[in-house]
Amino acid sequence: MKQTHDVNVKEFKPLISPAAIKEELPITDAVAKTVIDGRHDIENILHKKDTRLLVIAGPCSIHDTDAALEYAGKMKQLRKEVKGKINLIMRVYFEKPRTTVGWKGLINDPFLDASYNIDEGLRKARSLLIEINKMGIPTATEILDPIIPQYIAGLLTWVAIGARTTESQTHREMASGLSMPVGFKNSTDGSLSAAINAMTAAGAPQHFLGIDSQGYSCVVSTKGNPFGHIVLRGGPHPNYDPISVGRVQEELKKKNLLDAVMIDCSHDNSGQKFKGQSFVFKSVLDQRIQGNTSIIGLMLESNLCEGSQKCQGDRAAIKYGVSITDECISWETTKGLIRCAYDRL
């Protein structure tokens, strides 16, 4: 009898369970405090109880944990300097969505050599999040694979659902059960409807298939996430300008959703060019200063050094502190923008 299932599957490899990796790499009380306090701060910003500007900054993707820790060390000092007016969170992205093919992030391929040692990728990701939270820096990431939250979500303060996955029912259901505020990006075509519908769906109780802490398949039932909000990342045209922001405010009001807008200074808002991020940041800052308190936050793709580089599979050829995915602004530029915002707010 001919096989009718798994015809195109090469092999199955057992994966370490979430419970096992949590036992191997546990959260301390100090780390838990950073996470819980960080979530509470963002919740208060979303509800306008905390008037500080939320800024999420960090590498487009993490490929070198040493460089990420160096970046975190620099952010730690700046976070202290500006904490009275700005809540600075580190962007720590481990998964990269791909339009076709390419490197899919530290968790999927931690050694950049197509070995796909996902067990080790999960360990590296969880270890890095622990170290950054130990420094007192809350962390943010995009969740792409719905299995991943069981492994690292307990270390995250904020999560994004990306432009390619905001329309996905699976990701809306997942977001309804996440323990932290979730930002939904507008679609790559610039439309708002998918993100707004996602906020509604994620705010409601959901029932779906997932895994538990032992890694077993199960039915997950959620309460709904009350802290979903929209992130504007541009499309065929940028959408950080006052008219675009006003349009999304009207849509949020119609749907009785959180009047909270975050602006992504990179991606299509900057034309995929790192030099454009500074212009977007300053323009949005002007809107905030002029009285638009619906703008609660900004995102920056930032690394130790500016620009990006191609990854050809040779780790020795990769320049330290330079992105291997999207272009990033440098730490010096990032610091300048944050201090500028602090002085002007």
pLDDT in tens, 4-41: 999 999 999 999 999 999 999 999 999 999 999 999 99
Are 152 and 170 contacting, i.e. CB atoms less than 8 angstroms apart? no
pLDDT score of 314: 74
Are 22 and 214 contacting, i.e. CB atoms less than 8 angstroms apart? no
Q: Closest Cα to residue 94, out of 53, 46, 136, 132? A: 132
**Tens-digit pLDDT profile for residues 171-229:** 999 999 999 999 999 999 999 999 999 999 999 999 999 999 999 999 999 999 999 99
Nearest 10 degrees: CA dihedral of 22, 25, 27, 31? -140
pLDDT score of 102: 83
pLDDT score of 263: 98
CB proximity list for 344: less than 8 A, separation 6 or greater: 285, 289
d(CA 301, CA 187): 19
**Tens-digit pLDDT profile for residues 88-125:** 999 999 998 877 778 899 999 999 999 999 999 999 99
* pLDDT for residue 316 is more than 90: no
d(CA 317, CA 306): 17
pTM (two decimals): 0.96
Helix axis angle, 118-134 to 65-82, nearest 10°: 30
Instruction: Give the DSSP per-residue string, 80-121.
Output: HHHTTTEEEEEE-------SSSS---TTT-TTSSS---HHHH
Please state which CATH class domain 18-344 belongs to: alpha beta
pLDDT score of 131: 98
**Tens-digit pLDDT profile for residues 216-246:** 999 999 999 999 999 999 999 999 999 999 9
pLDDT score of 317: 86
| Least confident among 49-53, 58-62, 190-194, 312-316 | 312-316
What is the helix (H) or strand (E) element at residue 53, kind and residue range?
Answer: strand 53-58
d(CA 339, CA 333): 10
Q: Closest Cα to residue 186, out of 236, 146, 241, 227? A: 236
Residue 222 one-letter amino acid: T
Please compute Rg for the chain using Cα positions.
19
pLDDT score of 106: 97
> What are the structure tokens assigned to 69, written together?
């820790």
Q: Closest Cα to residue 154, out of 300, 60, 38? A: 38
Band the pLDDT of 312: cuts 50, 70, 90.
confident
Q: Can you tell me the mean pLDDT for 337-343?
A: 98
Task: Report how many helices (DSSP H) and strands (DSSP E) the chain contains, helices first.
Answer: 10, 10
* Cβ count near 129 (within 10 Å): 26
